[in-house]
Amino acid sequence: MPKKKLYIETYGCQMNISDSEIVGSIMADANYEATENIKEADVIFVNTCSIRDNAEQRVRARLREFKSLKKKKPELVIGLLGCMAERLKDKLLIEEPHVTVIAGPDAYRDLPKLMTYVEEGQKAVNILLSSSETYEDIEPIRLDHNGVSAFISIMRGCENYCSYCVVPYTRGKERSRNPQTIIDEATDLFAKGYREVTLLGQNVNSYSWETEEDVFNFAGLIEKVAQIDPLLRVRFATSHPKDLSDELIDMIARYPNICKAIHLPVQSGSTRMLAKMNRKYDRTWYLGRIEAIKNRIPDSTISTDIIAGFCTETEEDHQETMSLMKEVGFDLAYMFKYSERPDTAAAKRFPDDVQEEVKGRRLQEIIDLQQQLSLESNRRDVGQRFEVLVEGFSKRSNKFLFGRTSQNKVAVFEARDFKPGDYVNVTVTDCTPATLISKVVEDISVSE
Ligand code: 5AD
Ligand code: SF4
């Protein structure tokens, strides 16, 4: 039978990118071949995000565009996957009548079966959440094609119930994947030429795998992955400050190939806000974790997530966020306006009472400050030497390559005959807020 063509469009977090690769693999076994050309697609899957209202609005706009595609090609199947599917359930079938497949994050194994229903002219929905599904036996197809860096999902779900967050409702209970399957996947990627893996989970530090003899935690897991080969870089995301142990910090310090870049979402610098957000730590605790990182891994970058204008946030609370940002000196931050999500604890219990323009102004102040901090961080790197893993040609010109430092900063440098997957030593000569401009160190450039 000729293969059908599947086009997958992914919104939201890295976990969704990883999930799309799992979906691609499940569908490949059912005779669907991934395509990057939407025009030739028999099936379009949109893997969606519900974290903020604007993420959902973007998907809605895209679905309207697909409507015209379907008019031209009535046999085209449009499926909605991921967090929006889970949150809105079969309501979506009514609101978006051209969508005929709805599958939540734990229902992807069922997709081939759902497709057979659709072929018979029915609509098909599976939004069951699971307490055990980790897709651990599925070898994801790699949709990114750079061939250097890949995501490995190591756990799913979240039970932290931060009061603003929809994820515990859309992704269900926290569960960890069998460590051997993770190590096997990373080993296989290395053998195929990959040089960097990012271990993914909503809260990787609470990774836990119990056997009869002992309990395997995230520090133990990352060590095993780092030991696969010194040329395999290991990254991870995301960590919750409450679970960032000294053991893990020491492990990152010990292995040169565990990247010196820690993403530690703070959300707010105000202890009052943090309590309302149900983050389970306060400002002092967070700053203590930062101090521990700086003491043990002085060359590590630290990045964060910040929410502006959460329920009842005052100007003082906002100033506490600004002062914490300066105190830590974040190298990078993802910054958002609070967006109330239906059914979360915050939506039920607290008024979304910070005026839109106040939220906007506070967010802008946070962004402006971060821009300054990021530039300062990059300026500190000027004159320093870094090992860069080459990912590809720079966007601007084929005369330049780009790659990342262990600290997760993008560096560009003269292309020469390096290729993706090579490690190159560079010295930083100049910078922008987002890029390190650098030159190749002549004497010791290593390419494998
Ligand atoms: N509104 C705004 N930002 C949010 N985030 C999570 N939920 C919301 C929300 N309701 C942000 C947090 C989280 C990041 C992934 O998204 O900062 O760390
Ligand atoms: Fe959401 Fe908090 Fe879980 Fe992160 S840790 S996914 S912010 S509930």
Closest listed ligand to the CA of 336: 1
Does the CB atom of residue 377 touch ligand 2 within 6 A?
no
Q: How far apart are CA 412 and CA 436, in angstroms?
A: 6
Phi (first) and psi of residue 155, to 5 degrees: -155, 160
With a 6 A CB cut-off, is 205 part of the ligand 2 pocket?
no
Q: Is the CB of 338 under 6 A from ligand 1?
A: yes
Average pLDDT of the residues of the chain = 96
Q: How far is the CA of 147 from the centre of ligand 2 (A)?
A: 30
Q: What pLDDT, on the 0 to 100 scale, is given for residue 263?
A: 98
Cα angle 319, 322, 326; round to 5 = 140
- When pLDDT is averaged across residues 322-336 and rounded to a whole number, the result is 98
Between β-strands 155-156 and 435-440, what pairing exists: parallel, antiparallel or unpaired? unpaired
* Ligand 1 geometric centre to CA of 303 (Å): 15
**Using CA of residue 50, residue 87, residue 27, residue 184, what is the dihedral sign?**
positive
CA 336 → CA 53, 258, 340, distances in Å?
11, 29, 12
Q: What is the pLDDT of residues 161-201, one digit of tens each?
A: 999 999 999 999 999 999 999 999 999 999 999 999 999 99
Distance (angstroms) between ligand 1 centre and the Cα of 349 equals 17
231 by Cβ neighbours in 10 Å (0-12 / 13-18 / 19+) ranks as middle
pTM of the entire structure? Answer: 0.95
Give, for 88, the enclosing helix (H) or strand (E).
helix 83-88
Element of type H or E holding 115: helix 111-119
User: What gap in Å lies between CA 81 and CA 350, rounded to an integer?
Assistant: 30
Ligand 1, residues 165, 200, 338, 341: which to mutate, most atoms within 8 A of Cβ?
165
Q: Given a cut of 80, is residue 123 above it in pLDDT?
A: yes
Distance CA 236, CA 246 (A): 16
Q: Which ligand is nearest to the CA of 155?
A: 2
- Contact (Cβ atoms closer than 8 angstroms) between residue 306 and residue 325: yes
**Rounded Cα gap, residues 246 and 408, in angstroms:** 22
Write out the two tokens for 157. Answer: 């779900």
8 Å CB contact between 8 and 20: yes
Residue 444 has pLDDT above 60, yes or no: no
CA of 167 relative to ligand 2 center, distance in Å: 6
Measuring from atom 2 of ligand 1, which residue has the nearest CA?
A: 338
